[in-house]
A = this chain, B = another copy of it.
Amino acid sequence: MDITEVAKRSGVPASTLRFYEEKGLISSVGRRGLRRVFDAGVLERLALVALGRSAGFSLDEIARMFTPDGRPRIDRRALAAKADELERTIRKLVAMRDGLRHAAVCPAPSHLECPTFRRLLRSAATGAIGARDRKSSSAPRRPDPAPRRRRP
């Protein structure tokens, strides 16, 4: 398979595949001229990478989850730790979701007068909730190098 084929099959842009190779996350089986040649294994590997990303591991962490010979070396303790981390995140998000839902229907004239809202406000202020990140996970995976015209 050439890089475009892998891109199509995996949904990962070619530029990202090169980037991942550079990072040691995937590797090609060789070259035909300059061009990379991949075998089917890269697809499973990419799935593993996607899984790791979904779980919140960084690319560097994921890279460390493969043995030098390319087989997955999965550390159960790391998984459990990440699960616990997710657990904590989930709790916060649930509190936040409930707070938002309430605020969205709360009849108080100003949100500042609503006890629920004020409670939420306090927990945010004390950092009990914790700031989340920009790229909300609802952002759908970008399909591929989308053709973008530049402005004239």
Q: Footprint of B on A, CB under 8 Å?
A: 10-11, 44, 46-48, 50-51, 53-56, 58, 72, 74, 76-77, 79-80, 82-83, 85-90, 92-94, 96-97, 99-101, 103-105, 110-112, 120-122, 124-125, 127, 129-141
Contacts and interface: CB of A to CB of B under 8 A. Distances in A.
7 contacts: A46-B125, A47-B124, A56-B133, A72-B110, A79-B103, A80-B101, A89-B136
Chain A residues touching B, majority SS: helix
B131 A72 contact: no
A148 to B, nearest CB: 21
B111 A97 contact: no
B89 A55 contact: no
A137 B130 contact: yes
Given A132-B137, A133-B135, A141-B130, A100 B74 contact: no
Contacts of A132: 53-56, 133, 137
